[in-house]
A and B are shown apart, each in its own frame.
Chain A
Amino acid sequence: MQEFTNDPIDISLLPQFQEVRLNALSPKYWKVVCINMAIFTTITAIGMTTLLLFSADIKAYAYIIIGTYFLLITLMVIFNRTALSRRGFAVREKDIVYRHGLIAISTTIIPFSRIQHIALDEGFFSRMYRLGQLRIFTAGGHSGSLHIPGIEIEEARQIKELLMKQISLLD
């Protein structure tokens, strides 16, 4: 007969997910975010300039509009920067942990045994910096899945291999 124990569990001795040291996203990912923001800024700026040039009514408010626009762009940069610094992930023995968020900081944990399938994406700009995005799906639908961007492509591949291996071991 196998050794059987049934001791009470001390919850404080269980591994604490909130104390796991998380890996930050690759610093290069900030560059990708910057490129995206630059494209967004350029397109909206072109749109605004044409509006300001062609519509006389709006011209009167030009300073206010341009002022607000610059304020919004600055806020966008700051928010993206803060959000990026808060993101982090960790692969534990039996699950994967991902933290993200700007005003609300969420930590999502998916046990390996609940992973359905995995996708690895390489965006157009991410590829230039050799970065990838891991998407981990569960049966919990969209809300129960993870999207981790900005991982070095080699590392992302390794993590994916590791996860796939874990899934097949579990079955």
Chain B
Amino acid sequence: MDQDFSKPQKQSATGVIIMFANSLQKLIRALTLPMIFILVKSKGSYGIGLILGISLMTLIILAVYAWLSYQRFNFFLDEDKQEFVVNEGVFNKSTLTIQLNKIQQVNINQSLLQQIIGIYSLDIDTAGSEKKEASIKAIDHLTATRLKQRLLSDRDEAAALNQTDENDFLPSASSVKTMLKLSNATLLKVGITSNYGASILLLMGFIFGLIQFFKDYATAFKVETNDIYSTVSQGFGFISVCFFIAFALIIVLTTNIVRTFIRYFQFKILRQQAALAISSGLFTRKNTLVTPRKVQLSAYSQNYFQKKLGILNIKVKQAAYDTADEEESKKSHIEIPGCSDRERDDILKMIYTLIPAKGKALIPNYRFLFLQVMLKIMIPAVLFSWLALVVYRPLQSYLALLIPYAILVFILLYFEYTHHRLYATQGFIVKKSGIWDIEEEIIETHKIQAITSKQYFWHKKADVGHLLLHTAAGVIHFKYGNYSQINNLVNYWLYQLESTKKDWI
């Protein structure tokens, strides 16, 4: 028998318990620390009595609140408009409306407490964002399954159509073609040249340890000053510095190589008609399917060494679409290491049917550097000088270090500035960025979800502004561009987005 969902209905009456438990849990999390604090501060029975009293009061308030939220929570299905509506809130009322055809997934779950009282929760998911859009916390199993059926009845027809083209991706001997296979030599190259961020941090740690070690050494020798000893120690010191640096490098490189091998061992891309099947891994083989239609953003990056070795890393981000759990949604982000230029072009062609042209670059204003220099050089320098000159004198001997620091940071910032570019061409947007690893992110215009253009009020005269392109795979941020140029592009993209029939998924 069909249940009528068109009238607003409440959750199962036992839902009150769930709501109570939920708010209690939140409250306990928020109040444990202050409570312990009060207990410790006010010794004796007086404090405990007070706490008991307050706890009892809050429990009663929570119970009333839970009952009220149960009363105010209702949901219904608007058949005419094909909408699912959820009303909730005690003090702040909220009405959530979801178009039925936007619903990607309905999950029925049961937590431990829900198991005890024999109810279920029903979560509704739309495409793209990672969080659940609507959630009914207490519903009996029959209602839940019926509601799920009703909510998805629309989609199932569409899914049936989709299913046929998913089937096309199943390997049939004739259509499968190996596109890319990584040899162990390539993996070694990847391992040696990637993850410098972590490596540099590790090295820094080593160097700081080393400096400390030297200082202890030096003070130890000051006690029994002896020229011969000190020259010996200097020679020894130099050798040990070299030794330590070499040691650190070896450790960093081996971990990188081992990591790369575990993740990408026997990396293989098979081309199956309209999709790419990717498999890799040493201990567990990971299999992923890339469907061009679902790709939201792709990026490739290369650093100086990788350029010399002729390899680059590709990242492909797909929309987390009909994925049931988080493990699945992680699968939708794929990394392809160690490609050659030609292989990159093949993959891009596969995804976009053509290689995105770059066209004319938008170049950021010099103010891009100005703020960064202020934040990362001037302010730290002033702070450090103040500390060294006024607060803690012994730091004065390190003041000279500010000069190499400023030079190094400025060089890095300058690199960042010269690499910050935006290219807009017919149907594509490419953003280049990076200091050491230079990355180019590619999106198709019709994958944009929303556009923000932003300007600080003191930049009005200079006509400088920022651009944010929101996609289902993250934000593309172009800073300090020519604001009129940015606004022109925004209008052009909006025109393209709103005149095309192409959907983003």
Contact residue among B452, B490, B498 (Cβ-Cβ distance under 8 Å from A113): B498
Contact A164 to B97, CB < 8 A, known contacts A113-B497, A117-B133: yes
B450 at the interface (CB under 8 A from A): yes
Contact residue among A11, A105, A118 (Cβ-Cβ distance under 8 Å from B457): A105
Q: How far is the CA of A16 from the CA of B487 in the complex (A)?
A: 8
CB nearest neighbor in A for B459: A104
B328 at the interface (CB under 8 A from A): no
Contact residue among B319, B452, B472 (Cβ-Cβ distance under 8 Å from A106): B452
**B494 pairs with A95, CB closer than 8 A:** yes
B504 at the interface (CB under 8 A from A): yes
A119 at the interface (CB under 8 A from B): yes
**B494 pairs with A164, CB closer than 8 A:** no
**Range class of the A interface residue count:** 35 or more
Residues of A near B369 (CB, < 8 A) are none
B82 at the interface (CB under 8 A from A): yes
Contact A121 to B498, CB < 8 A, known contacts A140-B450, A141-B470, A143-B468: no
**A103 pairs with B456, CB closer than 8 A:** yes
Nearest CB of B to A82, in Å = 10
A94 at the interface (CB under 8 A from B): yes
Residues of B near A57 (CB, < 8 A) are none
Residue-wise, chain B 152-188 has the 8 Å CB interface mask toward A (1 for contact) of 0000000000000000000000000000000000000
A116 at the interface (CB under 8 A from B): yes
Residues of B near A145 (CB, < 8 A) are 450
B451 at the interface (CB under 8 A from A): yes
Residues of B near A105 (CB, < 8 A) are 454-457
CB nearest neighbor in B for A105: B455
Beta-carbon contacts under 8 Å, B445-465 to A: 448-457
A91 at the interface (CB under 8 A from B): no
A138 at the interface (CB under 8 A from B): yes
**Range class of the B interface residue count:** 35 or more
**A16 pairs with B99, CB closer than 8 A:** no
**A119 pairs with B94, CB closer than 8 A:** yes
B416 at the interface (CB under 8 A from A): no
Q: How far is the CA of A142 from the CA of B471 in the complex (A)?
A: 11
**B133 pairs with A137, CB closer than 8 A:** yes
B22 at the interface (CB under 8 A from A): no
Interface 9-residue window, one of B38-46, B50-58, B124-132, B213-221 = B124-132
B6 at the interface (CB under 8 A from A): no
B96 at the interface (CB under 8 A from A): yes
Contact residue among B133, B452, B490 (Cβ-Cβ distance under 8 Å from A116): B133
Beta-carbon contacts under 8 Å, B424-459 to A: 448-457
Q: How far is the CA of A138 from the CA of B448 in the complex (A)?
A: 10
Q: How far is the CA of A146 from the CA of B452 in the complex (A)?
A: 11
Contact residue among A119, A124, A143, A160 (Cβ-Cβ distance under 8 Å from B91): A124
Residues of B near A37 (CB, < 8 A) are none
**B468 pairs with A109, CB closer than 8 A:** no
Q: How far is the CA of A8 from the CA of B455 in the complex (A)?
A: 30
Residues of B near A137 (CB, < 8 A) are 126, 129, 133
Q: How far is the CA of A140 from the CA of B101 in the complex (A)?
A: 18
Residues of B near A106 (CB, < 8 A) are 452-454
Residues of A near B450 (CB, < 8 A) are 108-111, 114, 138, 140, 144-146
B475 at the interface (CB under 8 A from A): yes
Residues of A near B466 (CB, < 8 A) are 104
**A116 pairs with B126, CB closer than 8 A:** yes
Q: Can you list 12 A-B pairs, Cβ within 8 angstroms, ordered by A?
A: A17-B494, A105-B456, A109-B450, A109-B451, A109-B452, A116-B133, A119-B96, A122-B93, A124-B91, A138-B470, A164-B97, A171-B99
Interface set of A (CB-CB < 8 Å, partner B) = 9, 11-12, 14-18, 94-95, 101, 103-111, 113-114, 116-124, 127, 137-146, 160, 164, 167-168, 171
Other than the given A106-B453, A117-B98, 12 more pairs (CB < 8 A) read A17-B494, A104-B454, A104-B456, A116-B126, A117-B133, A120-B94, A121-B93, A139-B504, A140-B450, A141-B129, A164-B99, A167-B99
3 nearest A-B pairs in the assembled complex, by CB-CB distance: A139-B128, A144-B470, A140-B470
